Chains A and B, each alone.
Chain A
Amino acid sequence: DAGVIQSPRHEVTEMGQEVTLRCKPISGHNSLFWYRQTMMRGLELLIYFNNNVPIDDSGMPEDRFSAKMPNASFSTLKIQPSEPRDSAVYFCASSFLDHTGELFFGEGSRLTVL
């Protein structure tokens, strides 16, 4: 299996620009998670989907962030407008909802907002 695929791996943009991060989960997994990681706050859950339905978006920092999962094989995380404090590594992870707790992470998208 190819694993969780994220794009882009690196993104440098200017404040105010729109940023779209993409994720393809592992085929057959029915749960998808977006996390953000910074040195100060560690790994924070932003939103997770089960069977393409958003279950909990309480971690989304504000209305500038939105996430969609139009089908089982694709998800996006959008930031509009972006701000320097959004600079972080954004991880997508997927799992099969069997409560084993094993999340399979993508390689992450490193976002820098200037």
Chain B
Amino acid sequence: QKEVEQNSGPLSVPEGAIASLNCTYSDRVSQSFFWYRQYSGKSPELIMSIYSNGDKEDGRFTAQLNKASQYVSLLIRDSQPSDSATYLCAVTTNTGFQKLVFGTGTRLLVSP
């Protein structure tokens, strides 16, 4: 079982819709969870972090965490074509240091 799993997609949504991206992880003691965005040919950049169960909102982005189900998601409201990218879920491992394990990413396509 992979440590962090994501559906590779592509996930296609029309402009203005809500895009829902999902991620599951295997290490029950993981404490920190992150969403990175990667445009084609570019490097990943952090867009959201979440550390406790529940929702965290930042502009059009909402991260949701459920540690009991080992599940983290990212909602993008009012999706724009500029949101088209690959979204990487990342989870810290229980090493005592900041070691991030990434999922393989979900490709999001937002059509005008």
Contacts and interface: CB of A to CB of B under 8 A. Distances in A.
Contacts of B90: 101
B44 A101 contact: no
A101 B45 contact: no
Contacts of B32: 99, 101
Given A107-B42, A107-B43, A101 B97 contact: no
Contacts, number: 58
Interface stretch (A11-19, A48-56, A62-70): A48-56
B85 interface: no
Contacts of B24: none
B98 A56 contact: no
Nearest to A42: B104
Classify chain A's interface size: 20 to 34
Contact of A102 (B49, B99, B103, B105): B49
Interface of A: 31, 33, 35, 41-45, 48, 50, 55-56, 91, 95, 97, 99-103, 105-108
Interface residues of B, number: 21
B46 interface: yes
A30 B92 CA distance: 18
Main secondary structure of the interface of A (DSSP, over half): strand
Nearest to A102: B46
B43 A108 contact: yes
24 contacts: A31-B98, A35-B102, A41-B104, A42-B88, A43-B44, A43-B102, A43-B104, A45-B101, A55-B97, A56-B97, A56-B99, A95-B98, A97-B98, A100-B49, A101-B32, A101-B46, A101-B92, A101-B98, A102-B34, A102-B49, A103-B44, A103-B100, A105-B43, A107-B43
